[in-house]
Amino acid sequence: MLDIQKIRSDFPILSTTVCGKPLVYLDNGATAQKPNVVIDTINRLHTRQNANIHRGVHYLSEACTEEYENARRSVVTFINANSTREIVFTAGTTAAINLVASSFGDEFVQEGNEIIVTIMEHHSNFVPWQALCRRKNARLRVVDLTGDGDLDLEQFQEFIGEKTRLITVAQTSNVLGTVNPVSDIIKLAHSYNIPVLVDGAQSVVHSKIDMQALDCDFFTFSGHKFYGPTGIGVLYAKEKWLDVMPPYQYGGDMVATVTVEDTTFADLPLKFEAGTANYIGAIGLGAAIGYLEGLGMENIQQYEQELLQLAHKLADETAGMTVYGRTKRKAGILSFLLDGIHHYDTGMILDKMGIAVRTGHLCAEPLMTYMGVTGLVRASFGLYNTKEEVQALFDGIKKVQQMLG
Ligand code: PMP
């Protein structure tokens, strides 16, 4: 089991105050805080080892290159990929999805083709596909929900066909917390030879991910939601796709030879890593992986489920509160509204009590429109949150209701 107090002492920001109150940080879905091991790694690199990678023969450059490639190996092990050739470092989930939408999209999507997305996608996994479909005169097909936050799996079956070029779906919704049955969706898609992109931004932090078991074609996640640095993320892609996809950006580091007439490209994965990589971010991400592996993803998942269950129990006991997303398979995300109270007001008053939650459309406007709301309040739990903090959220909610209800 996890020693939460010990874990909390690894995250310096958790002992700070906001508005004179101890910080209760419940906005982990937006970004997670960083443990000392990540902060120290970044600091060490900047103070003692910084040099550009894949370039110099000098000591610092070689040391940084080795750590960068070690970080890539850590990702391979952590998500059980087949090889480092499948791991492209990007600036984050958004950058990884744009890479696929642009490179795969340009090569394989033609007029009249279809891309299947879902109504619960984050804008990151919606807008790039909408833009691609506009560019190519293709059709975006949007799978709806059934009941309380589940995808309509029959609609996948209905939409899928000869025209489909790709299915793209979040493994875990950043709004509803729903853990989608991506394995089933992938099996269905593959039976039609259709590739699947899984947006793992919200899933990789809450549970063990296994690329070989999942068998998706593309998987994306961000370092900063993962207790790692900002500006770094991962695109996992099967080699068979990266081999046939054109480069996304052109420049240094992604080339093999350049002449005035022509250019040949570097081997995978560097073909997709043009320019100076965020090597300090990647090495910091490697440190975050080491930290999470030390705690064990199964332990983290189990603990966060306890926090979620408590939050649901307290929500059930709170009059005038509506929870959005009550499906059985959920990650530690609780989105809600209080009767007659605007979500911004709820967020602002909670902030005065030191409680950080997210408010607004949560980068999922199509879903908000679908659910008939303009925004929600979202509390999202991380591995360092405590049951006392969940209770503090509900004490805060009561105060908001007393003030504005
Ligand atoms: N997808 C999902 C499900 C997310 O929750 C987020 C971040 N909120 C993103 C994509 C985008 O991640 P980033 O901003 O790190 O690129």
In a shared domain, residues 277 and 319: no
Question: Which among 251, 266, 294 is the end of a domain?
Answer: 294
Residues 84 and 53 in one domain: yes
Of all atoms in ligand 1, which is nearest to the CA of residue 30?
Answer: 8
Asked whether residue 35 is domain-assigned, the answer is: no
Do both 77 and 226 map to the same domain?
yes
> In CATH, what number is assigned to the domain containing residue 314?
3.90.1150.10
The boundaries of the domain holding residue 320 are: 4-30+296-404
Rg of the chain taking only CA atoms, in angstroms: 22
Q: Is the CB of 92 under 6 A from ligand 1?
A: yes
Cα of 88 from ligand 1 centre, angstroms: 17
Say yes or no: 98 and 19 in one domain: no
Q: What spacing in Å lies between the alpha carbon of 363 and ligand 1's midpoint?
A: 8
Q: Residue 381 and residue 32: Cα distance in Å, rounded? A: 9
Same domain, 164 and 262: yes
pLDDT tens for the chain, 405 residues: list them: 899 999 999 999 999 999 999 999 999 999 999 999 999 999 999 999 999 999 778 999 999 999 999 999 999 999 999 999 999 999 999 999 999 999 999 999 999 999 999 999 999 999 999 999 999 999 999 999 998 899 999 999 999 999 999 999 999 999 999 999 999 999 999 999 999 999 999 999 999 999 999 999 999 999 999 999 999 999 999 999 999 999 999 999 999 999 999 999 999 999 999 999 999 999 999 999 999 999 999 999 999 999 999 999 999 999 999 999 999 999 999 999 999 999 999 999 999 999 999 999 999 999 999 999 999 999 999 999 999 999 999 999 999 999 997
What dihedral do alpha carbons 192, 194, 198, 199 form, nearest 10°? -130
Of 97, 168, 225, the residue with max ligand 1 atoms within 8 A of its CB, to mutate for a pocket test, comes to: 225
pTM (predicted TM-score): 0.98
